[in-house]
Structure 1
Amino acid sequence: MSEELFTELSLQICLTGLILYMGFIVYDLAKESKAGKYGTVVMFGTLGLGVLGFVIKTVITKVLS
């Protein structure tokens, strides 16, 4: 296994784990603060937009390279 392949795989695995952990944190925060359905949707929407921005940045970087 080359260093480049290891780096790519570890980035994908660790980033996926981080996103899942952040989702758990948002869920727990929404539950603890009694945010309701609308507040929970807004919180997860914000997290989703951040993830979407990261994915779009990655796609644009691959396309322009």
Structure 2
Amino acid sequence: MQWQWNKGCTVFGMTEEQFSEFFSTYGVGALILFMVFIIGNLAWQSKAGKFGTFVLFLGLAVGFLGFIAKYVIQWYLENHM
């Protein structure tokens, strides 16, 4: 028996589309902030120095810029096409 998704079904008062959009935006943003804490703690505990800390945060920043670029590109395509 296959599971059927009821189109009128809500999760926490939101539709599935609203729920996934909310957590793909704010959930990923919260994870990025948590990763800033993790990488900062890693750099401090390993005594990475200025350059090592810069490289660690540079890797996180590239991922963060990719996350932001997705929304900028999506906004541009929705409003200018």
TM-score class, shorter-chain normalisation, is 0.7 to 0.9
Aligned CA-pair RMSD: 1.7
- Segments of 4+ moved more than 6 angstroms: none
TM-score normalised per structure 2: 0.64
- Alignment partner of 2:47: what SS? coil
Find the structure with the greater CA-based Rg: 2
Structure ranking higher on relative contact order (CA contacts 8 Å, 6+ apart): 1
Q: Which residue of 2 aligns with 1:46?
A: 59
Aligned length: 65
| Unaligned ranges ≥5, structure 2 | 1-13
- Name the aligned partner's letter for residue 70 of structure 2: K
| Unaligned ranges ≥5, structure 1 | none
Higher relative helix content: 1
**Aligned residues: percent identity?**
48
Answer with 55-64 or 34-43: which moved more.
55-64
- Name the aligned partner's letter for residue 46 of structure 1: G
Deviation at 1:58, TM superposition (A): 4.0
1:22 pairs with one of 35, 51, 65: 35
Deviation at 1:47, TM superposition (A): 0.4
